[in-house]
């Protein structure tokens, strides 16, 4: 099920002149599985599906469902899948084979739908795509989803493919950094960047020994996204809406255990340190300043003069970032809206934020510069200095 925004070409917003040779977002698309779960139905469904009879777990999940601020999510997992694979909801079952049987085709289906919506908005034929960057932490196989996606979309057989696996929540912004490098170093190239994620690999029944599973159940969703990236938009044929001015990645030394994911016979097990929001808060200001300096924005430019596209890992991270940087109310609205509408969809979520941001910038075009940020295992910070066209 793909969704497309058709009205952006009819905007009355002022157009800025593109910077020659600078990678630019030319189109965006998204897609979701057909199963939509309103947050108020989640607890009953999860407790029923996992046959959990512990009232304390139910109460905790109800509380978490409210604090995450998520209103609805899309999931690949359905009643039919659980009827076919009841072992997925059975503690201690070796189910990695079954999980991959479901996840491998599902992520490519969603990636294909998102890519088609994106290519449709772009308005040029799929054969004009010269490079493909594919991002997922939800499938494992050889050849990978990049080849399956290229085949499904009818891309050229000499399309240059890059596969980014198991980066977690910052993968979408890494994809932008890689696509930017390709676009700027190969004149005339057009890069399709696709991200696709499902929570199937991590789904399991609740256990008191794994309290983080409940946070995941209350926060994460499934979906896919796609963008076309290229430099020097062809006049009359393409309309860039956001330039990728500069990109920076950085890891925080000594924090690699704060977000911990392990693959086992039962799927993926995630553990998040309670100090994650604090670690991000303690390092974010210097990271943003570094990105702004590299991009030529001096220390005189205030954070409130920028627009913000931040991966909504969860409400605590957004609240801390907002407080630390002294952001005015409303600066993170696009991040909060994406979290509310889709949950944390790992690498995809930044693109849902950017699509909302595009709509915002159409209405009020005075903000020229912005920051795109994501955080994930490492702890890794990934950032892009953005310029709105």
As annotated, the active-site residues are 169
CB 324 within 8 A of CB 310: no
Q: Which residues contact 218 (CB under 8 A, 6 or more apart)?
A: 42, 61, 64, 65, 67, 68, 70
Residue 267 Rama label (left phi>0; alpha psi -120 to 50; beta): left
Residues 6+ apart with CB under 8 A from 233: 18, 24, 26, 239, 240
3-state secondary structure of 162: strand
User: Chain-centre distance of CA 188, in angstroms?
Assistant: 27
- Tokens 């702004």 label which residue? 292
Distance CA 24, CA 30 (A): 18
CA-based max dimension of the chain: 62
């Amino acid at each position: 099920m793909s969704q497309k925004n058709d009205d952006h070409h009819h905007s009355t917003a002022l157009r800025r002149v593109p910077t020659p040779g600078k990678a630019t977002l030319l189109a965006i698309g998204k897609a979701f599985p057909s199963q939509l779960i309103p947050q108020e139905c989640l607890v009953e469904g999860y407790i029923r599906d996992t046959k959990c009879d512990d009232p304390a777990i139910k109460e905790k999940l109800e509380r978490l469902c409210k604090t995450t601020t998520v209103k609805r999510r899309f999931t690949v997992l359905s009643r039919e899948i659980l009827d076919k694979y009841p072992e997925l909801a059975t503690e201690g079952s070796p189910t990695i084979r079954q999980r991959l049987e479901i996840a491998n085709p599902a992520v490519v289906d969603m990636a294909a739908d998102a890519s088609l919506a994106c290519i449709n908005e772009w308005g040029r034929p799929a054969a004009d795509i010269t490079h493909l960057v594919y991002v997922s932490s939800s499938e494992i196989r050889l050849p990978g989803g990049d080849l399956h996606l290229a085949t499904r979309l009818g891309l050229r057989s000499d399309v240059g493919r890059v596969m980014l696996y198991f980066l977690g929540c910052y993968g979408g912004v890494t994809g932008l950094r890689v696509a930017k490098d390709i676009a700027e170093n190969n004149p005339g190239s057009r890069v399709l960047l696709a991200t696709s994620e499902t929570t199937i690999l991590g789904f399991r029944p609740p256990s008191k020994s794994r309290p983080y599973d409940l946070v995941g159940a209350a926060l994460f969703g499934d979906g896919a996204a796609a963008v076309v990236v290229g430099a020097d938009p062809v006049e009359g044929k393409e309309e860039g809406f956001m330039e990728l001015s500069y990109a920076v990645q950085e890891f925080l030394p000594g924090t690699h255990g704060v977000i911990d994911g392990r693959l086992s016979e039962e799927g993926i097990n995630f553990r998040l340190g309670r100090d994650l929001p604090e670690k991000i808060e303690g390092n974010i200001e210097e990271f943003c300043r570094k990105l702004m300096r590299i991009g030529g924005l001096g220390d005189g430019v205030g954070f409130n003069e920028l627009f913000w596209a931040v991966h909504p890992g969860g409400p605590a991270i957004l609240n801390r970032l907002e407080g630390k940087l002294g952001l005015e109310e409303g600066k993170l609205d696009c991040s909060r809206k994406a979290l509310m509408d889709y949950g944390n969809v790992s690498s995809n979520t930044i693109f849902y934020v950017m699509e909302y941001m595009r709509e915002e910038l159409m209405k009020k075009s005075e903000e020229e510069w912005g920051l795109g940020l994501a955080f994930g295992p490492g702890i890794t910070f990934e950032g892009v200095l953005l310029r709105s066209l």
